[in-house]
Every structure is written in structure tokens, then in C-alpha cells.
Amino acid sequence: MIFASVIAAVFVWWLSTGTLLLVVRRADRKGGDAHAMAVLIGLPFLALGIAAVVLSLQQQDLMSVYLGFLGALAVWGWAELAFLTGIIAGPVRQDCPDDLDPQTRFGRAFGTVVYHEMLLLVGLLGLVVVSSGAANRMALATYMILFLARISAKLNLFFGVPRINTEFVPDQLHHLKTYFRKGPVTIAFPIAITVLTALLAVCVERLVAAETVVTQTGFALLTALSALALLEHWLMVVPLPDAKLWRWMLPAPKPITTKDENHGF
């Protein structure tokens, strides 16, 4: 059961990531209102995710564990779709100017994603509220891991990491590349690795201590998700061809003539 849960979590992560990239890439190629239409078409999946979360809250069985996990991923996935299509991102849509002081650069960088961060925070607060006193908090735990990992990853991309894969950055967010910094790691990276490793250790400890199949399944899913979050951070340093996991399933990108530059804090 533990092995099956881990495989399920990894597969859902791979499939959901690939699906988002595919939808956004097709919208990029079509242009026009394709990005807005993709977000609108995704609304039923958001509704299904919310429904799954609600249905999972008061039951402690295998079905409810998976409902909470998949429901949280669906809610998160729609928020990511809204961001990757550029519909809900931030008011700053221009490339990063040269020669900005660190504080100004950070402010502009935050302005590129502030609406998305607010959306993610609203989702987190909503889950905190509905999960208060609930018997099953799988959805909240799943979302919190995703939230922590995403904020950490964004900060490290801005502060600096040796390896940045910009292959899948959509047309609507092409300006974000100019806010990334490719270079030596900063103090943000070891802090992130320490926190995520501690999170993984807690999930593993809870998994080992679990006494029921339901609890084992829940912590197996969370352990796999935490491990993936940690792996994604290490891939900012270790030169592995992770893009090959999804490149084969995507159509060729629409040619972009914008100059690609790297700026950092």
C-alpha cells in the first residue's frame, strides 16, 4: 500500500505538470484569447477539486485521503494554470531594467507575481478555515507542502542558483526570465534545503509510526510530495536533464524574438 501510494503521487505529479505545460504551450501557439479560454475551461476542474476537498473533510478512509490529496492538487493546478497563462500574475509585465538596487529589483520582481501569490494565499487560508476541526486534513497538508515549496523555489530563482531551466517559461511570462539570476547559490538555498529535508524527515517518521492503512497511505502521499519538492530544489544545482520528462509530449514552442537576459539581486 505504501509503495502504491508513492507511485501514485509521483505519477499524478508528472501527469499534472505535463498537462499544465501542454495546455499553456498550445495556448501560446494559438494566441489571441486562447490563454483566457484555457483558464475558463479549467474552472470545472477547480470546482471538482473544491468538491473533493469538502467531501474528504469529515471521513477517515482511503477514499477520503485520496480525495483530499487530489482535490488540493486540482485547486493548486488551476491557480498554476491561471499564472502560467498570464491571466493572474502581477501588474509588472516588463523586463527587469539594468542597474537597479537590490530593494527596487526585489519590489519589481514581486510585482510580476503578486496577484498569483495572493491567489495562492487565499487558497491556503480557505483550506485552513474549512479544515478547522475536520477529521481529515489531507487537503490542507498537501496544499501547505506545495505552498512552501513554491515560495522557496521562487525566492531561490530570484536570489540565484547555478541551474535554471527556462525552456518551459510561457510566452505570457517571458519577462520573468530577466528577473532570474543564474549564478552561485545564496544563503536562501541551504535554508530551503534544510527546511524541506526536515519536512521530509517528519513525514517519514509519521509514516513509519502509522498504525493504520489509512494513516500510512496519507503520510506516504505526503512523503512522496515532500521528496519531490526537495528534488526540484536540488535540480537547481545538480545538472540532470529533468526537462526530458515532459519535452517529448509538448508541441514545438512558438518562436520568440525577445532578447533573453539574466538579471539578479
The answer, yes or no, to whether residue 241 has pLDDT greater than 90, is no
Return all residues near 60 (Cβ < 8 A) that are at least 6 apart.
135, 136, 214
The per-residue pLDDT for 255 is 63
User: For the residues 211-223, what does the mean pLDDT come to?
Assistant: 95
Instruction: Kindly give, in sequence order, each residue whose CB lies less than 8 Å from that of residue 19, ignoring residues fewer than 6 positions away.
Output: none
Q: Report the distance separating Cα 108 and Cα 188, nearest Å.
A: 19
pLDDT > 60? residue 237:
yes
Q: Could you give the CA distance from residue 80 to residue 91 in angstroms, rounded to a whole number?
A: 17
Higher pLDDT, 11 or 247: 11
Sequence-distant (6+) residues with CB within 8 A of 258 are 95, 174
Q: What is the pLDDT of residues 92-101, one digit of tens each?
A: 999 998 888 9
120-159 pLDDT tens trace = 999 999 999 999 999 999 999 999 999 999 999 999 999 9
Give residue 33's pLDDT. Answer: 92
Query: Model pTM greater than 0.85?
Result: yes
3-state secondary structure of 175: helix
Backbone torsion region of residue 32, taken as left when φ is above 0, otherwise alpha when ψ lies between -120 and 50, otherwise beta:
left
What confidence score (pLDDT) does residue 166 get?
Answer: 84
In this predicted model, what pLDDT tens digit does every residue of 3-38 receive, in sequence order?
888 999 999 999 999 999 999 999 998 988 999 999
How far apart CA 139 and CA 65 sit, in angstroms, is 8
Which has the closest alpha carbon to 183: 250, 262, 90? 262
Contact 218, 8 (CB under 8 A): no
Mean predicted confidence (pLDDT) in 48-56: 97
Amino acid of residue 111: G
Q: Which residues contact 21 (CB under 8 A, 6 or more apart)?
A: 84, 168, 246, 249, 250
Residue 260 or residue 116, greater confidence: 116
CB 94 within 8 A of CB 258: no
- Among 48, 53, 75, which residue's Cα sits nearest to residue 64? 53
Tens-digit pLDDT profile for residues 159-216: 999 998 888 889 899 999 999 999 999 999 999 999 999 999 999 999 999 989 999 9
